[in-house]
Amino acid sequence: MNLKNIAGNDVSIFLFRFELRGNGIDFVLNETIAADMYQDIDEKIKPLVHACCETLLRYKHLSAGNTIMDGNFLATGEFEVMLSKGLGRHFAHDEKERLFQDAKNISDLLSVVMDRRTQELKKGKQRNSPPIEHTPNPRKIKKGLEELGKTKHRQAKLQWLADGEQLRPGLRQLRPDDLPPDVTVSSGYDHRGHCYIFEHKKFGELGKIVLIKVCEQEMLMQAELYKGQEKQESTIAKKKKEIFEKVITTVNDSFKQF
């Protein structure tokens, strides 16, 4: 029986799929590749998977089936990533392009695993290392997302300079002292646009702000409160919301003309 992807095309090697599971999404990886996984590759893949899951979660209610996205090598030898039928039309163009690019990056990393293992087998080398622990480590994933975000910012800055763009008159750069006490900001990673993560020294992660380019002269700011494990009516949750609202006001004011 021939394997087929979401689009019904013949598959030679199944790589991965993202499946809806309750309120979340599971990343299902080819079992053979998972068994051959290398630690360095695994650490690069997990932040990409996390970013893809975050994006897909925003559209899960529109998915036509349990498999919301899959990635495979087709019988033609080409890699193909597909979304659930009709889902692609609901995405902003740039967001979908970034999602697909990260799916391709995952595919490239899995190809490295297969190629590296093939070379080891040719040399008669046996794997003596213990199996990779596939349970996500939130701290490592956060660090990986921060690195992806920084890389994205550097690339955007270089493109900005290459295009000869100039800073909008009156736009004031945000300084650490502008933020509420004990609040820090770091680069995040989001397929919609530039992402910044805000944390409080005592209360932990507050939320993120994503700057989305709508057109050449228009930028949309989306703020998302980090829900975490606390109940929304708890004192801590209310305090975090209060602090994050101050952050949003500060960031929003930095876009105003002076």
Residue 148 or residue 153, greater confidence: 148
Element (H, E) at 109: helix 93-122
Query: What mean pLDDT do residues 41-66 have?
Result: 96
Lowest mean pLDDT among 72-86, 161-175, 201-215: 161-175
pTM over 0.85: yes
**pLDDT at res. 15:** 98
Residue 108 has pLDDT above 70, yes or no: yes
Strands (E), the chain: 3-4, 10-21, 24-29, 67-74, 79-83, 183-187, 194-200, 204-215, 218-225
Residue 258 has pLDDT above 60, yes or no: no
Lowest mean pLDDT among 10-19, 124-133, 152-161, 236-245: 124-133
Strands (E), 104-193: 183-187
Using alpha carbons, select from 246, 26, 51, 31 the residue that is nearest to residue 148: 51
Residue 140 or residue 170, greater confidence: 140
Lowest mean pLDDT among 106-115, 134-143, 185-194, 199-208: 134-143
Using alpha carbons, select from 188, 186, 184, 198 the residue that is nearest to residue 152: 188
| Structure tokens given for 97 | 């392009």
**pLDDT at res. 27:** 97
Lowest mean pLDDT among 32-46, 110-124, 227-241: 227-241
Rounded to whole angstroms, what are the CA distances from 98 to 18, 155, 230? 16, 14, 31
**By percentage, how much of the chain surpasses pLDDT 90?**
69
The CA distance from 127 to 106, in Å, is: 23
pLDDT band at 178 (very low <50, low <70, confident <90, very high): confident
Residue 119 has pLDDT above 80, yes or no: yes
Decide: 146 and 188 in contact? Cβ < 8 Å: yes
pLDDT band at 163 (very low <50, low <70, confident <90, very high): low
Digit-coded pLDDT (tens) for 138-151: 889 999 999 999 99
**pLDDT at res. 54:** 96
**117, 123, 125, 131 alpha-carbon torsion, rounded to 10°:** 0
Residue 167 has pLDDT above 60, yes or no: no
pLDDT band at 169 (very low <50, low <70, confident <90, very high): very low
Quote the distance between the C-alpha of residue 59 and its chain's center.
14
Using alpha carbons, select from 219, 181, 177 the residue that is nearest to residue 200: 181
Residue 3 has pLDDT above 50, yes or no: yes
**pLDDT at res. 232:** 76
Residue 63 has pLDDT above 60, yes or no: yes
**pLDDT at res. 134:** 65
